[in-house]
Amino acid sequence: MSANVNVNLVESEAAFKALLAANTFVIADFYADWCGPCKAIAPLYAKLATENAVAGHLAFAKINVDNVPEVAKEYSVSAMPSFLFFSSGERASVNIAPRKPGATIESEDADAAAKNVQNLIKGADPRALSAAAARLGEIAKATAAAAAAEAAA
């Protein structure tokens, strides 16, 4: 696996807790070296991290279930790959429905009928993973821009 500065390789439970504490959102990829589908989706995950990671707002983590089993056990991960989402250190759900023309994050969040909410992606599902990363990336970039504007004011 090639190194990607936007993907955090988690090597301990403490490192994962620190990553959760340092970022508003985290997408965690629970994988195994022996897992074929994990290897197949790894390049897409790295690409999504490069496109969407925002320091302090959205981080991408890779957790090898064989090397850090306590984290996999804590979140009941039993299939690889599994992608979990976190917001403010807690498990979270992401609306992966395609955005309606002219809709904003706020209007879609208010429209419960339009939601296709996922709190976990089991398996190598490029469509769902791409949609979740794009949605969290959009929110993280907007949050970072708002924080920068507030700091400049």
Q: Which residues are annotated as catalytic?
A: 35, 38
Amino acid at 130: S
The rounded distance, in Å, linking the Cα atoms of 18 and 1 is 23
Helix (H) or strand (E) holding 51: helix 36-52
User: How many angstroms separate the CA atoms of 5 and 68, rounded?
Assistant: 20
Give the residue among 153, 136, 18 at the shortest CA–CA distance from 84.
Answer: 136
Residue 82 near residue 48 (C-beta atoms within 8 A): no
In this structure, are residues 45 and 82 in contact, taking their beta carbons and an 8 Å threshold?
Answer: no
CA distance 79 to 116: 22
